[in-house]
Amino acid sequence: MAAIKYTKTELRQQQIRLAQLERYLPTLQLKKNLLQLEVNGVIGDLEKLIVQMNNYVSRVQSFQKLLTSPDAENLFRSCEIVQVHKKYENIAGVEIPIFEKISFEKPSYFLFDTSFWLESGIHGMQLLITNREQISIQKEKKVLLEKELREVSIRVNLFEKIMIPRTCENIKKIKIFLGDQQLAAVSQAKASKRKILQRKEKR
């Protein structure tokens, strides 16, 4: 940390710095609060998705024994992911992934040539896979938001606990020093005046 100068110029610079810090701090605090709300929202969404996942797993397990049938190959092929569609949105200065949909392989079978359970099985498996990808993207979103929240929290603490108090202390020290200098100058002027008067009286 650079040593402060006990001058009027330094005092003005420290006062300008304090004004800038105090003006920027509310913006950082607002960003911190927004990020905290977003993180809480993502955690809530994740909990709901995990509950859904458990429901979908139970649903798929109900026809698990049928996965060894000849039609199981059609099910697996129809559940192959072609593409996970997602977009990115800027939330409190962070580029966040947003799940849109999943494109699966097109079915290559005739409905009337397959077992009655196949359509239901494909639908259940696709829901499960979609849910899994949603959870994955939500976790990615959570990591990004929490990282930004940590960084902003550090900056808020730095402003509140170090930079602003230190600048206030610098201003106080400079004011005291300049005040003492002014008092010393006044005292010196009075002493000089007294000596002049004393010399005049002796004459």
pLDDT of residue 136: 97
**Rounded CA separation 92/90 (Å):** 6
**Rounded CA separation 142/74 (Å):** 35
Return the structure tokens found at 195. Answer: 């000596």
Task: Assess if residue 97 is contained within a domain.
Answer: yes
For the chain, the domain total comes to: 1
Helix axes 164-202, 8-61, angle to 10 degrees: 170
Return the structure tokens found at 13. Answer: 């610079």
Task: Assess if residue 194 is contained within a domain.
Answer: yes
The phi, psi pair for 187, rounded to 5°, reads -60, -40
What Å distances lie between residue 201 and 7, 190, 197, 198, CA to CA? 39, 16, 6, 5
Q: What residue numbers bound the domain in which 155 lies?
A: 8-202
pLDDT of residue 25: 97
Instruction: Residue 167: name the closest of 21, 46, 6 by CA.
Output: 21
Domain CATH for 160: 1.10.287.3240
Task: Assess if residue 54 is contained within a domain.
Answer: yes
Q: Where are the beta strands (DSSP E) in the chain?
A: 81-91, 94-104
pLDDT of residue 73: 80
pLDDT of residue 53: 94
Task: Assess if residue 1 is contained within a domain.
Answer: no
**Rounded CA separation 148/143 (Å):** 9
**Rounded CA separation 200/114 (Å):** 126
CB 178 within 8 A of CB 11: yes
Task: Assess if residue 100 is contained within a domain.
Answer: yes
Task: Assess if residue 2 is contained within a domain.
Answer: no
Task: Assess if residue 3 is contained within a domain.
Answer: no
Task: Assess if residue 74 is contained within a domain.
Answer: yes
**Rounded CA separation 122/103 (Å):** 13
95 strand-pairing partners: 90
Q: What is the pLDDT along the chain (203 residues), one digit of tens a residue?
A: 568 899 999 999 999 999 999 999 999 999 999 999 999 999 999 999 999 999 999 888 877 777 777 777 877 888 899 999 999 999 988 999 999 999 999 877 665 566 667 788 888 899 999 999 999 999 999 999 999 999 999 999 999 999 999 999 999 999 999 988 877 766 676 666 666 666 666 65
pLDDT of residue 112: 59
pLDDT of residue 200: 66
**Rounded CA separation 86/99 (Å):** 5
CB 92 within 8 A of CB 160: no
